[in-house]
Structure 1
Amino acid sequence: MQAKSASNVKIIDVSHHQGSINWATVKSDGVQGAFIKATEGMTILDDKLEVNAKGAGKAGLAIGYYHYAHPENNDPLVEAAWFANALEGFPAQFPHVLDVEGKASTVGGDQLSEWCLTWLQEVERLTGHPTMIYTGASFAKTYLNKQVAPFPLWIAHYGVETPMANSTWEKWSVFQYTSSGNVKGIAGNVDINAMELDFFDKHVHLPKSMRDKEYMLKPADANKIIPFLSAAYKATQDPEAREELHRLANELRKASRQKER
């Protein structure tokens, strides 16, 4: 995991817990985007979803939406459909987010990762929009395996400059580093996040057609390139070159939503 840096973009995440928000004032405090809670489980709709979405959009913030999962109780396809239906007509720049934490741990690592993968893929299918995962640093290390490694990571770890490492992701795209931040326009505490600038630029500044083309590498295309890397790997005895060729092959697998090797 990388540390926070000065180039990171200031992002908040909100739900009904923040009450009434003055979004224009939020933006004046240097916030450039917001993740807004949309749904939970298979029946709960956040009662501030619509007002937060309209307010943040009117203020000119980039927007994403998240779903708090209950895999310990529900089928992933049902929860995916509930989230996708709730967001119909709501524009989003950031990927749709699966929030997995808490009692989800009772499902167990491999089964939980499979549940998450099914939800992520189904939401992409239903919405035509990319997805990502939010979770705590310790939770990621303990419960989430390589099945979900191709999806961007939004990680939570408070009071540190560098979040705890895990064996599934090498880097984060978004880092929630405090749950007790203060932002003008919001009464009380709010989560504050650092977003990597390249991730922000990819999802906000590029036209949607270019974002989709960049985001979705077809597995068939990736698998046409990987054999050339594998041949070069076998042909060289240089340990550094072999390591780099292996890394590049896995980057192609991740970009095309395939498991790393």
Structure 2
Amino acid sequence: MFSTAPRPLAPSSRRLLRPALAALALGTLLLGATAVPAQADAAGRPFQPSHPERDFAGSTVVAHEGRGPSGPLQPQVTQTPGLDVSSYQGSVNWSAAAGAGARFAYVKATEGTGYTNPDFTQQYNGSYNTGLIRGAYHFALPNASSGATQANYFVSHGGGWSADGKTLPPALDIEYNPYGATCYGLSQAAMVSWIHDFSNTVHTRTGRYPTIYTTNDWWSTCTGDNAGFGTTSPLWIARYSSSPGTLPNGWSYQTFWQYADSGTFPGDQDYFNGAYTQVQALAKG
């Protein structure tokens, strides 16, 4: 079983940042609870995130959902350990991560259409060079531009795929809005359309449908528990507890499970729901 000791961080940790982000989001909602987040500012400029370095897979989860019951992890089948990272981790010691048992990694590549992870090359190539199967993910800002626009930006800035047996499908990180309204001001139908737009564009560009990272609560709230993605996209569920819990509609099992935000590896702790040979099979398409 993995250690639960927190990874080394700067003096301010994620757990201190997340409540602050939640307070900022709440303040935004209280100031304009009925307002839809603007697609552009008064000068007509597209929405730009003010702290993309603090937006990563799971950065909003604890503030909105907390943590589930602790205890021994309860995978149903053999689980393969891995991790996910962003610029929050900076330069990663991939040899140490591999030596500790990591077999795969997801790396944040982009956010919206104006941010690329400054540590992406070290993280993406470094994990590959130490033998990990790795993939890239995009932090979605559905209020900033269309799904197709963000998908094209993502694929052009690290979110590609090749059938080399070492590259996971590109991933879409779609979770609570760190800048305002939970569902980014989109109706459930509009959110579903946005995700389809992103997914179909990634598929056209790469030949693979994206892995979808989300939580059951966010998916239910913001898509109306839409069941239309389970036949094409692998599920990457976020739940910091002893089990993955209830899954979003359309998926009967998770492919990846982000079960903790600290532990043996740098960044977040993940399981692939199967043996390593199945990770290899997913990478090969």
Q: Distance in 2 between matches of 1:206 and 1:50?
A: 23
- Of 161, 185, 204, the match for 2:280: 204
**Normalised TM-score (structure 1):** 0.70
Query: What is the Cα deviation at residue 5 of structure 1?
Result: 3.8
RMSD: 2.2
- Of 174, 185, 192, the match for 1:113: 192
- Which residue does 2:238 correspond to in 1? 156
User: Once the two structures are superposed, what CA deviation does each residue of 1:6-47 show, in whole Å capped at 9, x if it has no partner?
Assistant: 610001000110122110110000100000000000111001
Paired AA for residue 102 in structure 1: Y
Which runs of no fewer than 5 residues in structure 1 stay unpaired?
Answer: 212-261
- Which residue does 2:26 correspond to in 1? none
Higher mean alpha-carbon deviation, 49-58 vs 123-132, is at 123-132
Higher mean alpha-carbon deviation, 161-170 vs 150-159, is at 161-170
- Which residue does 1:22 correspond to in 2? 93
Paired AA for residue 187 in structure 2: G
- Which residue does 1:129 correspond to in 2? 208
Query: Rg bigger for which structure?
Result: 1
Alignment pair present for 1:13 and 2:84: yes
Distance 1:15 1:207, change over 3 A: closer
Which runs of no fewer than 5 residues in structure 2 stay unpaired?
Answer: 1-73
Secondary structure at 2:245 match in 1 = coil
Alignment pair present for 1:98 and 2:180: no
- Which residue does 2:105 correspond to in 1? 34
Bigger proportion of residues as helix: 1
Paired AA for residue 206 in structure 2: T
- Which residue does 2:31 correspond to in 1? none
Q: Bigger relative contact order, structure 1 or 2, given CA contacts below 8 A and separation 6+?
A: 2
Query: What is the Cα deviation at residue 206 of structure 1?
Result: 7.4
Q: Distance in 2 between matches of 1:8 and 1:65?
A: 21
Matched residues, number: 201
- Which residue does 1:191 correspond to in 2? 268
**Normalised TM-score (structure 2):** 0.65
Identical positions, percent: 26
| 1:8–1:196 contact (8 Å) kept in structure 2 | yes
| 2:85–2:106 contact (8 Å) kept in structure 1 | yes
Secondary structure at 2:246 match in 1 = coil
User: Once the two structures are superposed, what CA deviation does each residue of 1:84-131 show, in whole Å capped at 9, x if it has no partner?
Assistant: 111277755211101101226131322111111110110111122342
Distance 1:206 1:133, change over 3 A: closer
Bigger proportion of residues as strand: 1
Q: Distance in 1 between matches of 2:160 and 2:222?
A: 34
